[in-house]
Amino acid sequence: MRLMDNRKRSYGMWRVAFAALAVGIAILGGSAQAGRKSDALAPPQGGAVSLGTTDIGSMGFARASTDSNQLVRCDVMAHDDDPVNPTPGWTTIRCTFIDQNGNPAMCVSSSQAIINAVNAIGDAKLAITLKSNGDCATATVIHSSEYEPKVP
């Protein structure tokens, strides 16, 4: 009789252990998926890069896009005036966007305000407006946990 009781108790403990394990996995799994996620672009454009009045894209979403076209890239080129003595020099940036259909857009700037914004991009979303001469008119960098990092 006592043996039966022990077996029942042991069985009950296993059930509790399994239940606890299941709850733990559910909590851990849930926490890995938690947090607001957002596409780089609002509907209806979809995709990671959108060209238009404002060119918009984020590096993480562009890299993770399923096609091999979409791209967000900014080159920062710093120069020294004097080849001998270090000087403040100057900096030029060039940003390139390519959308899912392979359409490109490019702008350049030596404005310190635009350069500061572009330097802070990281995995953020970048929105740029262009002038007709190829200059960047504005650069907006939006940092948000909604946007995914560049992985891998």
Partner 1 sequence: MRNNLLLIIIALVLAFLVGRFTAHIPGEHVAPREDPPGAVEAAQKLLDQGAADGTWSATEDAAFLEAVSKLGQESELRQLRALAQRVNGGKLKLEPVNAPQVPPPCMHVCPPANSNANRPAEGR
Give least dist CB 82 to partner 1, A.
Answer: 5
Q: How far is the CB of 133 from partner 1 (least distance, A)?
A: 6
Contacts of 8 (CB under 8 A, 6+ apart): none
Distance of closest approach, residue 132 Cβ to partner 1, in angstroms: 8
Amino acid, single-letter form, for residue 92:
T
Find all residues with CB under 8 Å of 125, minimum gap 6, and list them: 40, 56, 57, 58, 141, 142, 144, 147
Judged by beta carbon, residue 31 or residue 68, the one nearer partner 1 is: 68
- Give least dist CB 101 to partner 1, A: 11
Which among 121, 123, 147 has a CA at the least distance from the CA of 136? 121
Token pair for 7: 């077996």
Question: Per rule CB under 8 A, is residue 12 in the interface with partner 1?
Answer: no
Residue 129: partners with Cβ closer than 8 Å, 6 or more residues away: 53, 54, 55, 136, 137, 138
Site for partner 1 in 30-89 (CB under 8 A): 68-69, 71, 75, 77, 79, 81-82, 85-87
The full length of the chain comes to 152
Query: Which of 8, 104, 119, 144: binder of partner 1 (CB under 8 A)?
Result: 104
Minimum Å gap between C-beta 150 and partner 1 is: 14
User: By the criterion CB under 8 A, which residues form the site for partner 1?
Assistant: 68-69, 71, 75, 77, 79, 81-82, 85-87, 90, 92, 94, 96, 98, 102-108, 110, 130, 133-135
